[in-house]
Amino acid sequence: MLYALGCAQYKLAESAGGGADAYKDAREAFDALANAKDPMIARNAAFNRANCLAQAAKAAASDPKGQQAALGQLRSAASAYEDFLRQYPGDTGAQQNLDHVRFVMKKMQRASKQDDKQDQKQDDKKPPQEPPASLAVRNAQTEIPGAKAEVGDDNMVKLVKPVQGGAR
């Protein structure tokens, strides 16, 4: 049930525009599942925890004053993906997300160096366009008896409740 809650909080943060703190509740839910009895829940929670860190960093990077904080959060996200890949080598989704986080970090560091070299006014510059990226929750699960968590065609997690009463 905690995993389903984390997935729901992640989707809620994502649909709300994902501010820097929006993913905190989802990350905390996934943190609590680090030692889950079900190995798939533990694995998916670790993956989604790293996604939460990456999304929070992405939100912080959109604020020109939050660039240093964003770099620190990107480092945390990269570290979480690296830890995940040490435990689950060969996971292509985690590797792609790690590569993207590293790309964004390098781009931010290059932009910061250029800003230091050039003594231009900040408001005269346009921020570089970032290619769209998405981090998806996978293998949505629930512990509610008879219920299912399904990922729809729109990548939204939906809780399908068990039918009450009726023919058996």
Q: How confident is the model at residue 164 (pLDDT cuts 50, 70, 90)?
A: low
Count of alpha carbons within 13 angstroms of residue 32, beta-carbon side:
11
| Spatial contact of 69 and 60, defined as CB atoms under 8 Å apart | yes
d(CA 120, CA 51): 34
Q: Which of 22, 17, 130 is nearest to 73 (CA)?
A: 22
Number of residues in the chain = 168
Q: How confident is the model at residue 83 (pLDDT cuts 50, 70, 90)?
A: very high
The pLDDT, as a whole number, for residue 18 is: 65
What is the value of pTM for the model shown? Answer: 0.65
pLDDT (mean) for 122-127: 57
What's the pLDDT tens digit per position in 17-49? 766 577 888 999 999 998 889 999 999 999 999
Please tell me the least confidently modeled range out of 13-22, 38-47, 71-80, 96-105. Answer: 13-22
**Residues linked to residue 151 through DSSP beta bridges, in sequence order:** 157
Buried b (16+ CB within 10 A) or exposed e, 17-36: ebebebbebbbebbeebeeb
The per-residue pLDDT of the chain, averaged, comes to 80
pLDDT greater than 50 at residue 128:
yes
Q: Which residue did the predictor score with more confidence, 34 or 133?
A: 34
The pLDDT, as a whole number, for residue 50 is: 95
